[in-house]
Chains A and B, each alone.
Chain A
Amino acid sequence: MEQLFDVFNVGLLQNTLRTATPVILAAMGGLLTEQAGIMNIGMDGMILVGAFVAVAFSFTASSAALGVLAAVLSGIVIGLFFALFVVKLKSDEFIIGMALNTFAGGLTVYLLRSIFGVKGTFSDAGIVPLPTVHLDFLDKIPILGELLNDNSIFVYLTWGLVFLTWLFLYRTPYGFWMRAAGEHPESLATVGVNPNRMKFIASIMCGVFCGFAGAHLSLGYLTMFTEGMSSSRGFIAFACVIFGMANPPKVFGAALLFGFLDALGLRLQSVGVPSDLTAIVPYAATVLMLVYVVVNADRKKKRGKI
């Protein structure tokens, strides 16, 4: 029983918020490209570059804000690059996405070695982390206070961004066009909007979101850069986009569920489960969730027919 309390406590929920945040951010970007009709499996690389750039600038400029800004700028560049190949040069999305991941992995390690002279991990007291938020009045509320206080600022910003994404997609003409660019580009073109332009915008916005995700990973969640630190989060985000059918609130829910399972895995370590086994939890959960969603959708479709 005591062990159960070691696993299921407020810390678990707090970890859920922290581990889900980068996935939510990347998934918001991924759902935009998905809506615009691009299969984006290059998010993992985008996150990785964001994480590296954030650390590099936070360290050299001694400012977390500049680190985030640089990560966002790098995201814009990568998004543009991705769109250039996929939209303008009509290359295969799958190939470009995978190549982008390889490129990001290689480039970050190469630069880590040539700029900071280290291999594997770069952690230094000079890296300025993102500030945490503490609201005094929350202290008086028993569980919520502990849960919602002292998180990295991105945890809160993310919730706002989810709402803004929804607002953008479903309540602005741009969002409408973006969805149309994915669903029926020809009719969008007849209205006089260039579908390729919407795809470019979606891709750039995805880059920005992944930049945020990377910055949170290396300046909020941890304060360092590690080789391959995105650890497939971009792919998990892609999976979340698919569970949530590219709908922001649903994708948000899927990412939170993932975060919960990831946190559960971390907590299980405290009761003696080997860390290699707990690391499997989020990946296995992603597969199971994906299968469940697809099977469920099939069943609903069949029931509807009868």
Chain B
Amino acid sequence: MNKLTETLKKNRTYLTSLTLSILAALVIGGILMAVTGYNPFEGYAAMLKGVFGSARVFGNTLAKMLTLCLTGLAMAVCAKAGLFNVGGEGQLFLGGLAATMTGVFLQGASPFIAVPLAFISAAVVGGFYAYIPAVLKVKLNVSEVITTIMFNSIAIYLCAYLISSSGPWATDDSGVQGGSEAVPELFRFSQIIPRSNLSTAIIYSAIIAFLCWYIMQKTSIGLEMKVTGENERFSFFAGLPKDKLMIWSMVASGVICGLVGMFEVYGYQARFYSTISNEFYYDGMLVAMIMNYNPVGIIIMSFFFAVIDIGANAMEFSTGISGELSDIIFAIIIFLMAAERELSRVVTNGVRRKKRAAGRKTAAPAEGKEGE
């Protein structure tokens, strides 16, 4: 408990700015609603109802939180080592498709064989898809930001082709448009809250999140990653295997994204659709950026993001306000937090100046104190 208060104290300015940023973003979102002719209070009420209104919707929120948390951690893992994996979306698609097809092909096999194989295929495919841009960056110095973004589009279109009517893996089931065959019921994760998206994937997610936190914060590898990310040259002269660290942290990031793709399918979607992810990774990336790639912070923040995201969808359904409001709110939080250091400097300077001015007026000794 002591430790907790200590951390809170240490990060007081940061937490204050975070709270203020979130409030500011919600207010701006409310103003936007009002300007476009909606009642902001109704909007936010619908949002809350859509998240806490029933066990089912709350389960959906938790499921969303897992996705955001894992994608955020995936971003944090490589960003700590100095690489930006913007390609998580592509890794998620390919990993999801690989796991789905593994399940479909192994129909009739024991789930104790099929499910682990699905895990492995998702991890390998996702990891490999991150490995290519990582090697290109480390060995040839090709910007990983661009290659991973391009890789996203390539993966998304490739998956769309493979399960489209002209592709090899389209389903014959009637009534299903643009989807793969369904993964056998036996292989899928069981639902924790009936009819919600929350499945036993939560257990696997918790394990992954714990591993990320443990490796990043408690092991020497985590420290080496951090050193490499902060100062590549120092890492080189300190004799750290910096190329290896960078490549493997990116691969780890890809593995996590691949598994997220699998969880989407095995957790509740049952089939691979070309709409498996609606820029989930980008949202996770934003969470990671807001929390400065701190794993614990990401886990907490992903809940807030999930509330806004799921809430916004519900709001669109019940009030007609576009659910994209969530993206606007997220982006505003990022803008404010990215400028946090400079903004808080300006604000504290302003406060100090005011205090000084006030002190000069009232009493002379107060001025002396301020001047120190």
Binding site for B on A (CB under 8 A): 41, 85, 88-92, 94-96, 98-100, 102-103, 105-107, 109-115, 119, 231-232, 235-236, 238-239, 242, 274, 276-277, 279-280, 283-284, 286-287, 290-291, 294-295, 298
Contact = CB atoms under 8 A, between A and B. Distances in A.
A98 B153 contact: no
Contact of A235 (B146, B164, B324, B328): B146
Interface string B308-339: 00000000000001101111101110110011
A283 B154 CA distance: 6
Given A94-B84, A107-B328, A276 B150 contact: no
B322 A283 contact: no
A103 B151 CA distance: 22
Given A99-B331, A109-B322, A291-B140, A232 B157 contact: no
Contact of B339 (A91, A280, A294, A295): A91
Interface stretch (B63-71, B183-191, B282-290): B282-290
Nearest to A92: B338
A85 B327 contact: no
Contacts of A295: 140
8 contacts: A85-B338, A98-B285, A102-B327, A238-B146, A279-B157, A283-B150, A287-B150, A294-B141
A110 B322 contact: yes
B343 A103 contact: no
B146 A276 contact: no
B338 A298 contact: no
A103 B25 CA distance: 12
Given A98-B86, A107-B328, A276 B157 contact: yes
B160 interface: yes
B164 to A, nearest CB: 6
Contact of B143 (A99, A119, A290): A290
Given A111-B36, A114-B321, A284 B338 contact: no
B75 to A, nearest CB: 10
Contact of A280 (B154, B164, B321, B326): B154
B189 to A, nearest CB: 29
A153 B37 CA distance: 37
A85 B340 CA distance: 10
Given A102-B331, A103-B331, A276-B164, A114 B37 contact: yes
B149 interface: yes
A110 B149 contact: no
Contacts of A91: 335, 338-339, 342
Contacts of B146: 235, 238-239, 242, 286-287, 290
Nearest to A107: B328
Contacts of B327: 102-103, 105-107, 109
Tell me the interface secondary structure of chain B in the complex.
helix
B53 interface: no
A291 B286 CA distance: 28
B292 to A, nearest CB: 10
B286 A98 contact: yes
B328 A103 contact: yes
Given A89-B342, A98-B285, A99-B331, A232 B150 contact: yes
Contacts of A294: 140-142
B151 A276 contact: no
A189 B95 CA distance: 51
B36, B149, B167, B285: residue with the most chain A Cβ atoms closer than 10 Å: B149
Contacts of B166: 274
Contact of A90 (B36, B322, B342): B342
B106 interface: no
Q: Which of B142, B151, B338 has the most C-beta atoms of chain A within 10 angstroms of its own C-beta? A: B338
B157 A106 contact: no
B24 interface: no
3 tightest CB-CB pairs across the interface, nearest first?
A106-B327, A103-B331, A276-B161
Nearest to B282: A102
B235 interface: no
B334 to A, nearest CB: 4
B285 A232 contact: no
Interface string B252-287: 000000000000000000000000000100100110
Given A98-B282, A279-B153, 20 more contacts: A85-B338, A91-B338, A94-B84, A100-B331, A102-B330, A109-B322, A110-B322, A110-B325, A110-B328, A114-B38, A119-B322, A232-B152, A274-B161, A274-B164, A276-B158, A276-B164, A279-B157, A287-B151, A287-B154, A290-B147
Contacts of B240: none
B145 interface: yes
B136 interface: yes
A290 B158 CA distance: 21
